[in-house]
Chain A
């Protein structure tokens, strides 16, 4: 939240008619200027911003440093394009304007949009830079548009002459699909302002992205904090649930791989069939897992409802947390059970594939029957499988 007085030097020379940025270079520049003005005034209410044009009939100050955003936006209207940019004169007049700022405590800053070729000598620019440094003025250069020989060098030399403890920056923006203002948002010209400036920049990015919100869930926490909180909590729970499901699936798939390997080892001739069997089994495991998940998911829904209520009452939140832990334990135990099931059914299928073991063996049947009722469909599937495997044998 630095207290600053800023002068923005706009390039309104003939080169700004070019359309390689946005609707036209000049429009892109105007949007960027509006954005900067907004960011500066938001980051500190006492900041002042002024605007001057460098080309046209000559260097002309449109607005002297003021904190009135309306005046600044109004003066950008009806600017004419023409002439050649006079960078040195522009920077010097900006410096004079900053000398007359009303609040002497404000830090002086000049932001220059250099879009057309720079016709000054490097030496001249360096001298100007030194003078700025002597008067403790910081300079930000936005290099866009034309890129002729030496322009980048000259601007870099100017920056080097002005720079004092890395407070001055230069940004090179090539022509491209992104708008000039969007690219600027991510540069130190904006982020150098601090948290307040970046907050504005973030909301501006949200608006600029058009639909894709900068904030999570498309809700501005400033506008509706409760809704944002509720959305965030439900998102986290969903994420946790998905992670648990993913873990189960991963474990099952790892066991699947193990089983698959053994099967392949035993039935090397029917490698493809083994794979298809493995796929079938995987589907079965997933079905099992999902059936396991359902009780867990119902628990989760209850959790979300409870958490909404908990937002208002911290004691209730504590109680809910404990209950959630319990339910988590339950679900984990259920997960264990499902793992066990998987194990058992898997073992039975392995046994079935092994020669000399008859799945119709009553002992195996008993073992299978001893499982939970949920394994019954599983058993039927196993029995179906078993004759198939017997046939294959």
Chain B
């Protein structure tokens, strides 16, 4: 019998993460200023509100961050800077708290758990959002995670923290939508819709669906080959749909 790691099916503290376009813009600007053509990444703080499991990220700012490329355990984040910056932001909008932090990844790195632990001092359940500033594939560029304590079946090892993915979406207030539309006018004019544009739209949607189906198929193949452990929750979702 395989040892099955059970995952919690209980309600999670964070169900959904909503990222506003302003946040995306400022993160991209940060990246362009600091680490455009390097392999370094930038890190910053996310501000927003959290209500009944939904985290609404409305604002952000960068913080000075350095890490050693060769040794990931060597990193420095200026938390005095963060504290002074946050106190200034609080005076503008008292409702925005620290909800987590962002990284330009583009993927998770080893010291992310340590940095996440630092943010536990400021907010009980911080969320990490990885923004891919140069996306090569379709879909939204954000990926959100938060950490849970994972208790191993064999109690010899200390319980570790593990990142758990959480669905994210891009949404905006009405005022923000107007601003985004205004900016996009140079990029793409959505008012004019010809047959060509509609067909292109359908094509991209189908491409997205195809990519997701391939991913599911790949996952099931791996489970059959017993390369990945069986996960009841995922199968439940698949069967439901």
Residues of chain A within 8 A of B114, CB atoms compared:
58
A296 close to B (CB within 8 Å): no
Q: Which residue of A lies closest to B82 (CB)?
A: A64
B149 close to A (CB within 8 Å): no
- Of A88-96, A112-120, A252-260, A371-379, which stretch is located at the interface? A88-96
Interface bits B64-88 vs A (CB < 8 Å: 1, else 0): 1011100101111111110000000
Kindly identify which residue among B71, B79, B81 contacts A92, using a CB–CB cutoff of 8 Å. Answer: B71
Q: Do B80 and A64 have beta carbons less than 8 Å apart?
A: yes
Residues of chain A within 8 A of B73, CB atoms compared:
58, 89
* Chain A contacts to B: CB under 8 angstroms: 58-59, 61, 63-64, 66, 89, 92-93, 96-97, 99-100
Q: What CA separation (Å) do A97 and B74 show in the bound complex?
A: 11
Residues of chain A within 8 A of B71, CB atoms compared:
89, 92
Q: What CA separation (Å) do A66 and B79 show in the bound complex?
A: 12
Q: Which residue of B lies closest to A71 (CB)?
A: B80
Kindly identify which residue among A58, A63, A97 contacts B76, using a CB–CB cutoff of 8 Å. Answer: A97
Residues of chain A within 8 A of B68, CB atoms compared:
92, 96
Residues of chain A within 8 A of B76, CB atoms compared:
61, 93, 96-97, 100
Q: Do B78 and A99 have beta carbons less than 8 Å apart?
A: no
Kindly identify which residue among B67, B74, B75, B81 contacts A64, using a CB–CB cutoff of 8 Å. Answer: B81
Known pairs A58-B114, A61-B79, A93-B74. 18 more at Cβ < 8 A?
A: A58-B73, A61-B76, A61-B77, A63-B80, A64-B79, A66-B80, A89-B73, A93-B75, A93-B76, A96-B66, A96-B67, A96-B68, A96-B76, A97-B76, A99-B66, A100-B64, A100-B76, A100-B78
Q: What distance in Å separates the Cβ of B74 from its nearest Cβ neighbour in chain A?
A: 5
Known A63-B80, A64-B79, A66-B80: A100·B66 in contact at CB below 8 Å: yes
Q: Do A92 and B74 have beta carbons less than 8 Å apart?
A: yes
Q: Which residue of B lies closest to A59 (CB)?
A: B74
Q: Which residue of B lies closest to A93 (CB)?
A: B76
Q: Which 9 A-B pairs have the closest CB atoms?
A: A96-B76, A96-B66, A64-B80, A100-B64, A92-B74, A64-B78, A97-B76, A93-B76, A89-B74
The 29 sampled A-B contact pairs (Cβ below 8 Å) are A58-B73, A58-B114, A59-B74, A61-B76, A61-B77, A61-B78, A61-B79, A63-B80, A64-B78, A64-B79, A64-B80, A64-B81, A66-B80, A89-B71, A89-B73, A89-B74, A92-B68, A92-B74, A93-B74, A93-B75, A93-B76, A96-B67, A96-B68, A96-B74, A96-B76, A97-B76, A97-B78, A100-B76, A100-B78
Q: Which residue of B lies closest to A68 (CB)?
A: B80
Q: Which residue of A lies closest to B118 (CB)?
A: A60
Q: What CA separation (Å) do A97 and B68 show in the bound complex?
A: 12
Q: What CA separation (Å) do A97 and B66 show in the bound complex?
A: 8
Q: What distance in Å separates the Cβ of B167 from its nearest Cβ neighbour in chain A?
A: 32
Near A by CB (< 8 A), chain B positions 68-123 give 68, 71, 73-81, 114
Residues of chain B within 8 A of A97, CB atoms compared:
76, 78
Residues of chain A within 8 A of B78, CB atoms compared:
61, 64, 97, 100
Residues of chain B within 8 A of A61, CB atoms compared:
76-79
Q: What distance in Å separates the Cβ of A274 from its nearest Cβ neighbour in chain B?
A: 85
Q: What distance in Å separates the Cβ of A124 from its nearest Cβ neighbour in chain B?
A: 11
Q: Do A96 and B80 have beta carbons less than 8 Å apart?
A: no
Q: What CA separation (Å) do A63 and B77 show in the bound complex?
A: 11
Q: What distance in Å separates the Cβ of B73 from its nearest Cβ neighbour in chain A?
A: 7
Residues of chain A within 8 A of B74, CB atoms compared:
59, 89, 92-93, 96
Q: What CA separation (Å) do A66 and B80 show in the bound complex?
A: 9
Near A by CB (< 8 A), chain B positions 168-206 give none
Q: What CA separation (Å) do A96 and B78 show in the bound complex?
A: 10
Residues of chain A within 8 A of B81, CB atoms compared:
64
Q: What CA separation (Å) do A58 and B73 show in the bound complex?
A: 9
Q: Do B79 and A96 have beta carbons less than 8 Å apart?
A: no
Residues of chain B within 8 A of A64, CB atoms compared:
78-81
Q: Which residue of B lies closest to A94 (CB)?
A: B76
Q: What distance in Å separates the Cβ of B70 from its nearest Cβ neighbour in chain A?
A: 10
Residues of chain B within 8 A of A63, CB atoms compared:
80
Q: What distance in Å separates the Cβ of B83 from its nearest Cβ neighbour in chain A?
A: 10
Most buried by A among B73, B74, B81: B74
Q: Which residue of A lies closest to B63 (CB)?
A: A100
Q: Which residue of A lies closest to B77 (CB)?
A: A61
Residues of chain B within 8 A of A59, CB atoms compared:
74
Interface bits B2-46 vs A (CB < 8 Å: 1, else 0): 000000000000000000000000000000000000000000000
Q: What distance in Å separates the Cβ of A301 from its nearest Cβ neighbour in chain B?
A: 62
Q: What distance in Å separates the Cβ of B241 from its nearest Cβ neighbour in chain A?
A: 44
Most buried by B among A58, A97, A100: A100
Q: What distance in Å separates the Cβ of B113 from its nearest Cβ neighbour in chain A?
A: 12
Q: What distance in Å separates the Cβ of A194 from its nearest Cβ neighbour in chain B?
A: 28
